[in-house]
Amino acid sequence: MSENLDLSLVLPVYNEVEDLAPLVEKTVAALTPLNLRYEIVLVDDGSTDGSDQAVDDLAEKYPTVHALHFRRNFGQTAALSAGIDHSRGDMVVTMDADGQNDPADIPALLNKLNEGYDVVSGWRRQRQDEKPRMFLSRVANRLISRLTGVPLSDYGCTLKVYRREIIQDVHLYGDMHRFIPALASWVGARVTEVPVRHHPRMHGRSKYGMNRIFRVLLDLLTVLFMLRWSTKPIRFFGGIGLASIALGLLNFVIVVLMKILAGVDMFAYPFFLIGIFLTLIGVQFALMGLLGETNVRIYHETQKKPTYYLREPKAAGIKPGKALNG
């Protein structure tokens, strides 16, 4: 069971009982001709519609299928993380279990990976969803691409392929699964995308509502901080602190000049109090930066976490120059 494989396909499953069996059948049909040692890891995310039993039935039917069960619903990010942690493939493919992603697109992603990339993301160019949802998705994708510096047309597409040495250094929390390419770029991954098919949902309904917009924005703030300042928080908090202290001192200068030149009572205008407030805020931010620096050093030194990542001399998985059929 500990033998490494060429490919692991991770599918988070939450209430997809009607789509699961046909999807696994199509996936096996798509992967078998590739002549790769592969596995399909089904992660039941606390389903309540019988998907948990369907996962076990598929694991009994197909020797390449393995089942994981959560005690309750922990979310798609946790399911992907668990599937990746318990998989053995040198390459890891993630895909939704609702049948909208097409397993027949996997060979195209693997061939692109073989060109020297570390992460290949699917791009649902002809997306089969409601127009308001698609519009908001386009806006979000442009915003994420602009702020993270990793230009992708479709961050929300779960169909992606990763090299093991890259994805194992990306730790997922909350609802961070859509930001994996940006987080992977932080450890030096070469990221690209390829167009993939997207089918209409045949059963059930989407697990995501409009309220996820706010979660995405908050997660984006977290990702931006991790990408830019996680190893140097003093530059973020200290920068804000110094700017606030400078503005506070400017207010004190204004008060002094008003007193000297016009004889104005320093307490007749709010500049003095504003100066005190800004100075105190600045000092607090500077101290937060120092505390952040201390925590960063504790994190890296006690857990032996590196502040750099070396590129593997050999690509994991398929041999260079060998294209896959499909």
Q: What is the DSSP string of 157-225?
A: ---EEEEHHHHTT----TTGGGGHHHHHHHTT--EEEEEE-BPPP-SS--S--TTHHHHHHHHHHHHHH
221 and 291 assigned to the same domain: no
Task: Give the model's pLDDT for residue 7.
Answer: 96
**Residue 275 within any structural domain of the chain:** yes
Residue given tokens 């997306």 in the structure block? 127
CA distance 263 to 308: 59
For residue 11 the two structure tokens come to: 């599918």
Domain boundary among the residues 201, 228, 255 is at: 228
- What are the CB-based long-range contacts (under 8 Å, 24+) for 135-138? 136/210, 136/213
**Residue 326 within any structural domain of the chain:** no
Q: Give the DSSP letter of residue 86.
A: T
Task: Give the model's pLDDT for residue 218.
Answer: 80
**Residue 134 within any structural domain of the chain:** yes
Domain boundary among the residues 203, 228, 253 is at: 228
Task: Give the model's pLDDT for residue 71.
Answer: 92
C-alpha of 83 from chain center: 15
- The answer to whether residues 286 and 237 touch, using CB atoms and an 8 Å cutoff, is yes
Question: pLDDT tens digits, the chain, 326 residues: what are they?
Answer: 457 899 999 999 999 999 899 999 999 999 999 999 999 999 999 999 999 999 999 999 999 999 999 999 998 889 999 999 999 999 999 999 988 999 999 999 999 999 999 999 999 888 877 777 778 888 888 988 988 889 999 998 999 999 998 888 787 777 788 888 988 888 788 999 999 998 887 766 665 555 667 777 788 888 888 778 877 888 889 999 999 999 999 998 888 888 888 777 777 778 888 999 999 999 999 999 899 888 877 866 776 666 666 665 444 444 434 445 54
89 and 170 assigned to the same domain: yes
16 and 58 assigned to the same domain: yes
pTM recorded for the entire structure: 0.77
119 and 177 assigned to the same domain: yes
92 and 182 assigned to the same domain: yes
Q: Is 305 exposed, middle or buried (0-12, 13-18, 19+ CB in 10 A)?
A: exposed
Task: Give the model's pLDDT for residue 101.
Answer: 92
**Residue 311 within any structural domain of the chain:** no
268 and 138 assigned to the same domain: no
Q: What is the total count of domains within the chain?
A: 2
18 and 162 assigned to the same domain: yes
47 and 115 assigned to the same domain: yes
Q: Residue 65, SS3?
A: strand
Q: Residue 43, SS3?
A: strand
Task: Give the model's pLDDT for residue 110.
Answer: 96
Q: Which of 131, 110, 105 is nearest to 195 (CA)?
A: 105
220 and 255 assigned to the same domain: no
The side-by-side arrangement of strands in the sheet containing 160-163 is 65-69, 38-44, 5-13, 89-94, 160-163, 119-124, 191-196
**Structural domain boundaries enclosing 153:** 5-228
Task: Give the model's pLDDT for residue 156.
Answer: 86
For residue 111 the two structure tokens come to: 């061939």
